[in-house]
Amino acid sequence: MKNTEEQIILLIEDNPGDSRLIKEMLKEITFFNYQLIVAETLKAGCEQIKKNNFILILLDLNLPDSTGNQTFDTVIKFAEKIPVVLVSGLHDVELSLSLIEKGAQDYILKQDLNSRLLGKTIQYALIRKQAEKELKASWDYLNNIINSVASPIFVKDDKHNLCLVNTAFCEMLNRSPDQLLGKTDFENFPTDQVEVYLTKDKEVLITGKENINEEQLTDGTGQLRTIVTRKTLYTDNAGNKFLVGVINDITERKKAEVELTLAKEKAEESALLNKFALDLYNNSENFDIDKIIRLSLEKAIELTKSEIGFFHFVNPDQETISLQVWSAKTMKMCDVPTKVSHYPISKAGIWVDCLKERKPIIHNDYENLLHKKGLPEGHTPIIREATIPVFEGEKVIAVLGVGNKKNDYTLHDIELLTNLSVNYWNIIRRKRTEIDLIKAKEKAEESEHLKTAFLQNMSHEIRTPLNAISGFSGMLNKPELSEEKRKNFVSIIQNSGKQLISIVSDILTISSLETKQEKVNIQKVCINSIILDLLAIFKQQTQNQNISLYAKQQLSDKQSEIYTDKTKITQILTNLISNALKFTHEGFIQFGYNLVEPHCGVALQTELQFYIKDTGIGIKPEFHEKIFERFRQADKSINKLYGGTGLGLSISKGFVELLGGIIWVQSELDKGSIFYFTIPYKPVHEIDKANSPTIQNENFPTVLVAEDDEYNFLYIEELLIEMDFKIIHAKDGKSSKNNQRISTGFSHNCTISVWIRTRNRKI
């Protein structure tokens, strides 16, 4: 259809003849109406372009004010959207092709020009320009559509180059389209991610099957995101293959799923903890505190997937710990005594960091911790650990720890431990309250009973020597009294006076201990001298009772010189030896001391461990702790048979604790007793470790004494003790073989076996 609207064509031509020729040819064009404007210079042509809306420009490249490329480049700046047809007298194919690439619609040589060619060229130029315009509009429409989509969209060619991206894709990578188009994924993403992308891209391009895949993508901010990409094959009319991808960012959804899973796990753990706490609470009447702690500790190990664990109480002074419970596996792996011991927080290892900082502590790299103090010999190796303080109000009352999880401990483990500790500490507190109430009731009843018994006992103990003093003092006035009886009565009066003084002294001492008025007088003391003095003091008495008395000293006089309270050490030993003499009717009494080195966290410092061993009547197990209480004796009949106030052991216990030690007894009824107590070893003279008694003892020749009779063994021991032998005692043949294997296994020194022929007592 003919276009009746008049259109304007611009001819930029400096040759008047060529201008007239072109005008004549244009008159033969009938498919649209036009108006022709002629400009003879480039400058004039640009001015016309600014003023009018041209549908076409006919351009001669060689003008008075411009030639070649420069002419076209200048015009195209002003006429970017107007089709330009080049009309030139130069036959330059290379130039013509380069200008068409820059945007020229066509190139006509003047010598080939005719009305038909000119008309067709103009017609095709206008059609192409219209098509480009429509294509541009279509492209813009497509861009507007994909840019309105919130999901990132991209299109790749079969070489994996990006040829189309939408705004969401650009925003995801924090880059402009120009920075992305024509680039491959290797220029935008980490290599490991690209390899996954390309594998799926190739599958789609080859098979034509749509692919939906969950992938990881690093965005423009460096954040790792989880995406689901739908990839589809598109083939255009020319057979070119393209991959169209639509991305759905599911990072937040994944986070929500993880949080939901964690919440579910926490809910299940909480339900498990609540059930455990309820079961523990319902059965707590049947459990002691140690069992409650042990069950809770094993549950903590199970929930945190640990291998070992411990729970220890913090003492009221907030400076020491009572080593309370280790897990079953810890006990198997570490030589830890079951007896509760006290341990200063200031000298403990990194496992008490949580107490010092008053917050949970995780050590996931134990080996490389600079402030660790190392582990005692025999302790299980530590790889990683998590510990928490247990609070009651503002006060730390315990520490709970687990260790050697296969992977790192996290805050979730701390949360588990904290929740568990809260649950079982409430049960422990309730149990303690019940125990305290029962003990308070029993103590009140017992106190009343002891008060009555004490008054009766004191009345008897005081009246007995007073009656003797009063009675025999009156008899001294009789004129007929013989000199022998007079001396005997005086001796009775003197002994009764001493007995009365001893009773009053014990009462005053126990009162001083109870009111914390007793003072410690630290001075240089030679322990060996005390041992020898006591041996001399009690030797005659034991001979009178037909009992053997032995004393042992492990250290030299110089090594035994320490800082302590001589009076109290002497009093403790005197009380214990006196008790041994009182309750031993035959056999022997042996006393002495050994140097005890720290071992596996139980003894923090080197100690002297004293012992008093007898073959007396022994003590029932249920009285092993009670005998150290005031006015206590192992049996009611004891007082009737042996007398005494029942204060001696209580005083000894008070003195030992004042000196920083502990006291205990090992005994069986009718099999004798061994009383032990410890004091800190604070030597006056620094001891060379290489020459310490424990090191020297390892290098001594070993003597194995196989003897079932205790007296014979003591006799042989006395013969060998000054010869620097290490003595091992076996009471039968089987024990001697085992001990011989042990002794030869630990030392290359000569091992001597001494066998006794019991019948004639020959060595």
What is the Cα–Cα distance from 99 to 446, expressed in whole angstroms? Answer: 119
What's residue 189's pLDDT?
93
What's residue 100's pLDDT?
84
What's residue 747's pLDDT?
39
Q: Where are the alpha helices (DSSP H) in 545-642?
A: 566-583, 636-642
In sign, the C-alpha dihedral spanning 125, 131, 135, 137 is positive
Residue 272, Cβ density class (10 Å: 0-12 exposed, 13-18 middle, ≥19 buried) = middle
What's residue 339's pLDDT?
46
Beta bridge partners of 35: 8
What's residue 751's pLDDT?
44
What's residue 219's pLDDT?
92
Which amino acid, one-letter code, is at 366? Y
What's residue 748's pLDDT?
38
Q: Could you report the average pLDDT of every consecutive run of 10 residues in the chain (763 residues)?
A: 66 90 81 83 91 89 90 89 86 82 85 83 80 71 80 92 91 92 92 93 94 93 93 89 92 89 79 71 71 82 88 82 74 56 72 86 86 69 88 86 91 86 75 78 75 66 75 81 83 80 77 82 94 90 91 91 93 92 92 81 75 93 83 54 68 92 92 93 78 54 68 65 63 50 40 44 38
What is the Cα–Cα distance from 209 to 468, expressed in whole angstroms? Answer: 119
What's residue 153's pLDDT?
92
- Strand 32-39 to 3-12 pairing: parallel
Which amino acid, one-letter code, is at 593? Y
What's residue 245's pLDDT?
92
What's residue 738's pLDDT?
46
